[in-house]
Amino acid sequence: MTHKHAATLLVLAACGRPPVPAVQGASPASADTVAQGTVRMTGPQESAQLVLSGEAPDVALIGPLAGELGRLVGARVSVTGWPARNPAAVPERAVEVAAYEILAVDGERPYVGILVGRDNRLWLAGQDTLEVVGAPPDLSARIGAKVFVTGVMRGGQLELRSYGVIRDP
């Protein structure tokens, strides 16, 4: 058998195999579960469960981003992830969160990003880069933290109204 014939047989044999899913352990269709609602903490303190409450039944939020979402209790968010088994008994459904977007904090759409200090000024580096003015010393001291901020835009400056730390530097 020549090399050309052997290569042709290998190609034909490979065509008969089913495709391997892009994500091992999950079908591509299940990797795009999206849920929206308000982040809440339910249950007694020693066994508190992070959940997303909305129009559908509550969904537990699990995975590596649960720590960040735990700092967003009361915020309205959209999460994307994979259906998962909830390690707690209630609620039955869970999402292993791969990404999230903050839709509203106290009814306002926040800006989200990393705090940067430059030239004795405070900046938020995110989808847009904004100078943050009127920040209290507590926020100014958190350079490198992932935060959300709300306020009034005046030119390229955001006059701070409220903020929250999502992830420490």
The Cα–Cα gap between 146 and 110 comes to 13
Task: Work out how many domains the chain is built from and give that number.
Answer: 2
Q: Tell me the whole-structure pTM to 2 decimals.
A: 0.78
50 and 95 inside one domain: yes
| C-beta separation of 100 from 36 below 8 A | no
Residue 158 Cα to chain centre, angstroms = 23
Predicted pLDDT of residue 31: 55
What is the pLDDT confidence band of residue 19, given thresholds at 50, 70 and 90?
very low
The mean pLDDT of 20-32, rounded to a whole number, is 38
**Does residue 23 form part of some domain?**
no
| Average pLDDT of span 99-121 | 96
Predicted local confidence at residue 89, as pLDDT: 77
**C-beta atoms surrounding 155 within 10 Å:** 7
- More confident site: 17 or 56: 56
Q: What integer best gives the mean pLDDT of the chain?
A: 83
Q: Is residue 88 scored above 50 in pLDDT? A: yes
Q: 97 and 121 in one domain?
A: no
The predicted pLDDT at position 155 comes to: 87
Domain span including residue 140: 111-167
Same domain, 100 and 118: no
Q: What is the pLDDT averaged over residues 56-69? A: 94
For range 48-65, the mean pLDDT? 92
- State which H helix or E strand residue 67 sits in: helix 66-70
% residues pLDDT > 90 (the chain)? 66
Q: What would the mean pLDDT of 120-124 be, rounded to a whole number?
A: 96
Q: Is residue 150 part of a domain?
A: yes
CATH number assigned to the domain comprising residue 48: 2.40.50.140
Q: Are residues 82 and 118 in the same domain?
A: no
